[in-house]
Chains A and B, each alone.
Chain A
Amino acid sequence: GAVVSQHPSWVICKSGTSVKIECRSLDFQATTMFWYRQFPKQSLMLMATSNEGSKATYEQGVEKDKFLINHASLTLSTLTVTSAHPEDSSFYICSAPRKGPGANVLTFGAGSRLTVL
């Protein structure tokens, strides 16, 4: 079945540094990928829609200069948290839609837990 690989699964960094998270669709092409953020014991908040070959679409309130998204190929999207601060610590999850009977079905990566010291 469809697999989305997310890397790294966890990362600890110092405040002020940048962190890149990769999201790969392993056995299908994804012209669109979604990036979510999840705080402890809360739901997933859609941050942005990553579009292959064009600019990402950010949700209201999400800083595009803070969370850089690049979708350079049909199987890879990256999220870079720039100048990370402790408040950016969170669980970041990517997903890619694959066509299923009647509707798109999102395949999720396993998530990346970011801790900013």
Chain B
Amino acid sequence: DGGITQSPKYLFRKEGQNVTLSCEQNLNHDAMYWYRQDPGQGLRLIYYSQIVNDFQKGDIAEGYSVSREKKESFPLTVTSAQKNPTAFYLCASSRTGAGNQPQHFGDGTRLSIL
């Protein structure tokens, strides 16, 4: 079945540590996105990529980094500079970056600080 796979499902970070969240899709979608969701709040865009080897900052990119070396993969690194990383992280993809294509989500990674 085609879909978006995020791993791990749960992740714990120590102070000063960088952690990487994986996102893989086999939908052959061009565009991929990372969002953060805090309890009781809406989704906020961290980074997005409309094509391989290209990505742009979203609304809350500080303390995060991404890469898009392959079409199917868009990993997110939460760096030690992100002082409040505890949240639900959602990866999404869409067929193209055009706004009329809906996004489809992975089942998320919950990140907590130890």
Whether A and B are associated in the same complex: the answer reads no
Q: List the interface of chain A (C-beta within 8 A of B).
A: none
Q: List the interface of chain B (C-beta within 8 A of A).
A: none
